[in-house]
Chains A and B, each alone.
Chain A
Amino acid sequence: MMHIERGPWREMVNHAQAAFPNECCGAMLGTIDGDSKTVTVALALDNVSEGSQRARYELRPEDLLRADKEARARKLDMIGIYHSHPDCDAYFSETDLKNSCPWYSFVILSVYDGVFNHANSWLPNAEQTHAEKEELTWPKS
């Protein structure tokens, strides 16, 4: 299961709402204790997908390399990737699945009319044929 602390959660929601009607993306850093992951830092990264970004995102590998270095410097682990779905639910689409990386958790924030609506975390399997929903909690107030 994954818990996102208040600070990074606010940054992720703000990022998703600011990018609306486009998709935003970023990395989540934190700690892992067995099956329990806690996100303590959110790093907003550029969406470099070419063309319309209303239903597409792409991360630069160089930015992920930088995020990994940042995690090492802070003695944290890179836990996952987040992105938003403008005017869509937080499902893991076929495009998300095929272009994912089975090593990480994928948090999706659903934003309707520019306002955060709900979120889910997904774990793609090794073959990228299926993603399992992961229990996700965040501060509700």
Chain B
Amino acid sequence: MSKYYRFILAILVIVSILIALVVGSTPISLVKVIQGNHDTWQLIINYRLPRILVAVISGALIGISGLLLQSVLRNQLVDTSILGIMNGSQFLLIAFLVFFPNLLSSNVLLGSFAGLVLTAIWFVVLPKHQPPLRLILLGIATAMTFQALTNITSEGLGVPLPSLSTVTWPQVMQLIMVTIIGWILIIFIWPNLKYFALPSRQVKLLGISEEKTIWFVLLAIGLWTGALTSLIGIVFFLGAILPEIARFMSPKQKSQHLLWPTALWGSLLLLNADTIARTVLAPKELPTSAILLAISGPLFALMLIKGGHHDRH
């Protein structure tokens, strides 16, 4: 099952990419594409492809970040949005841009730096050994606070908030770069991740540094979250439900084996939500994050009712 399942997911992502390339406010006829019509190719390469790539990469990163965060915090109900990391890095980026407006062209790198700083502060300040639900409430309070600060700064000083409709190729390149840097951090501590199946005390007694592993994971997540938030904005709950969807599809799998399915589900959901957002009422464009929230909100509620995976045992 698992071999075909990943294969099917990958095919679905590719099909979604193809659909996203041709549908939109300016419909593209396949004939023109094949004929090599200049304007059509311009539209595809300059506008649609970067946007699609950002959606695919961001979706995957949101899922992977959620999975890794749940794993190292031993809490299957959290993700980067719930803990306030998304809102926090968005606010920090906007604050940076107020002081250094000429850095707007490299806003993705700046965003990843903001994410890095915020995650580091978060890890030092926030008490980690909280009961799962308390940690969630703490995180949401943090997220809401940053949301308010972002709104005040953005409205008050006229700094525009990110939207997928303005994505450019340099931004895509910056995002890819940050993705790779994050991966290098993760590969470094990959062998240690399996020990997070055990209680913290046992890991310490085995002589493995949990702290170091958590730092590496959080720094990677911070980089990714900051970068993708600077492009697509805040997507609430998605990172928490993607690993749960992957777990539901292949129960009894360990987190390290759920990485690919989680990433693929993320790409699939984010890309198609974006395609829906820009097509259903075209030429009017709906906010992608609202469409996603309409799906992820109820699913997260369902997850809470069902209880976290480890609560059931």
* A and B associate: no
B contact set with A: CB distance below 8 Å? none
